Each structure stands twice: as structure tokens, then as C-alpha cells.
Amino acid sequence: MSFSSDYAAELQKIINNNSFLVDVRTPEEFAEGHVPGSVNIPLDTIPLQLPLFMRKDNIIVFCRSGMRSAQAKGFLDQQGFNNVFNAGTWMDVKQMIQ
């Protein structure tokens, strides 16, 4: 997934400002490599884990290709969270961390 340079720059600022980094891949994928400081909440478990998202300033979701994170963002938006950002792939996020 590629972002406009303006969105990517803004996303990088948000990521590096104490955001809640959520990898929505499977535990097996997460174990193979992940972003330091991220938590693994697989897409299919998000409805059961909503308390973990409460009172977070910014929530960054990501996965392998950006598809599952888009679904996660859509679901969280429907639940009333207005601070969720789809960062695409976990490798994109890993490169943005300073």
C-alpha cells in the first residue's frame, strides 16, 4: 500500500507520538517478525478486545498487505473510535519508527 507523501509524513509523526501500534495479523505471522512495541490483536479477535482500544490517543493498525488493517479500521470506526489510522503493512510502520 502506498500513501501520498503528505499522508505518510503525517502518519510517521502520529506513529512516533506514543501511538497504540496494533498488528492485526495472526499470532504465527506476528512471531515471524513484527514492529517493536506493537501488540498483536488478530483481526478476528478485535470485537472481543475493544477495552484495549479505549482511551488511546491514536491507534495505528497494520498487517501484511493493508487489507486486514483496512477492515480493522472500518470496524473500529463503526464502534465510534475516531482516532484510528490504517498504516498499511507492518514493514511500512517498522521503517517509520524513529
Q: Which residues contact 9 (CB under 8 A, 6 or more apart)?
A: none
What is the rounded CA–CA span in Å between residue 1 and residue 56? 25
Q: Which DSSP state fits 56? A: -
User: Which helix or strand (DSSP H or E) is residue 61 part of?
Assistant: strand 59-63
Task: Catalytic residue, from 63, 76, 87, 96: name it.
Answer: 63
Q: Which DSSP state fits 49? A: -
Is 63 among the residues known to form the active site?
Answer: yes
What is the rounded CA–CA span in Å between residue 23 and residue 30? 7
Catalytic residues: 63
